[in-house]
Amino acid sequence: MRKKQTTFVKIDQYLKRLHLPAIRDSYREQADLARKESLPYESYLLELLERETENRHNNRVQRYLRESNLSLEKNMETFDLKRLPPTIGMQVKSLLDGDFIDRRENILAFGNPGSGKTHLLSAIAQELIVKHEKRIYSRTCCLLVQELLAAKRDLELARYMKKLSKFDVILIDDIGYIQQGREEMEVLFSLLSERYERGSVMITSNLPFSKWEGIFKDPITTAAAIDRVIHHSVILELNASSYRAEVAKKRKTAKKKRA
Ligand code: ADP
Ligand code: MG
């Protein structure tokens, strides 16, 4: 009995030192079970390794979801793909395998306000984190630009860019929604140049490319910015109908019917 106790103490110490908390939590109870069911040693070991791996996956996913800043309620379950043209459904399905990230491709979602751009790209991003353990940094364009400017002001821009380069995808929501000044445009352009062929970006915009000069000010920078994002990209054209407007309309007619 005493010998068994010291064995446990030693095992616990090793598992602690090796950072295997899930195994530490379950090895005794699993050993009892294995003895009871006369399982081979390998099955016991396999069970423990699976538990540790799953635990690590879950922890990593939680951490990545937190750092992504995504709204978790905007996921694939709450998104109605049938509202969009069938080609979009097919495009989305293939994007969910995450291979576009390995190819450093970008996703661009265009459409009217309320057409579901933010929801769809957030949902795709969330799936990529949960299923493929990808690291994603999601911000509205406005907030991202502010972060970039603050970093620049503190002479930390290089360091901030380095931090962003660790992410598999930068999701920039609503590019061009708010009119930016020249300084804002410059840092945004630097970021896009930095990402070019090095890492994916996902962008949503109400503005078609023809209106991007309003974002990047002069025609040369605009052309260069469009070139960089479009070069290896998948374009999702959501312009079916505005979901928000439709729901409002439905509410109105329902109200009328009730009245
Ligand atoms: P956009 O970014 O294009 O302006 P959003 O993604 O913000 O549009 O969508 C507006 C609202 O409508 C959100 O609450 C979103 O969850 C909802 N919505 C839009 N499209 C869909 C859809 N296909 N299925 C479910 N909800 C949707
Ligand atoms: Mg949006």
Which residues form ligand 1's pocket by a CB distance below 6 Å? 74, 78-80, 83, 111, 113-119, 204, 243-244
Percentage of residues of the chain with pLDDT beyond 70: 93
**Mean predicted confidence (pLDDT) in 35-45:** 97
Please check whether residue 176 is in contact with residue 82, taking contact to mean a CB–CB distance below 8 angstroms.
no
Q: What digits encode the pLDDT tens for the residues 42-59?
A: 999 999 999 999 999 999
Separation of 10 CA from ligand 1 center, angstroms?
A: 55
Confidence of residue 198 (pLDDT cuts 50, 70, 90): very high
Determine which residue's CA is closest to atom 6 belonging to ligand 1.
116
Tell me the two tokens of residue 92. 């989305």
**Mean predicted confidence (pLDDT) in 10-17:** 97
Residue 74 confidence (pLDDT) above 90: yes
* For ligand 1, mutation pick of 72, 172, 244, 247 (most atoms within 8 Å of CB): 244
Maximum C-alpha span of the chain? 81
pTM of the complete model: 0.88
**Mean predicted confidence (pLDDT) in 119-145:** 97
Q: Rounded distance, CA 22 to CA 49, Å? A: 9
**Mean predicted confidence (pLDDT) in 78-106:** 94
**Mean predicted confidence (pLDDT) in 99-124:** 96
Query: With 0-12 CB in 10 A as exposed, 13-18 as middle and 19+ as buried, what is 177?
Result: middle
Confidence of residue 242 (pLDDT cuts 50, 70, 90): low
Determine the pLDDT at residue 85. 86
Residue 27 one-letter amino acid: Y
Determine the pLDDT at residue 243. 61
Measured from the Cβ of residue 63, the count of other Cβ atoms closer than 10 Å reads 12
The residue count of the chain comes to 259
Average pLDDT, the chain: 92
In sequence order, the β-bridge partners of residue 203 are: 108, 172
Tell me the two tokens of residue 208. 């078609």
Q: What digits encode the pLDDT tens for the residues 173-182?
A: 999 877 678 8
Ligand with the closest atom to the CA of 122: 1
Separation of 125 CA from ligand 2 center, angstroms?
A: 14
Residue 138 confidence (pLDDT) above 90: yes
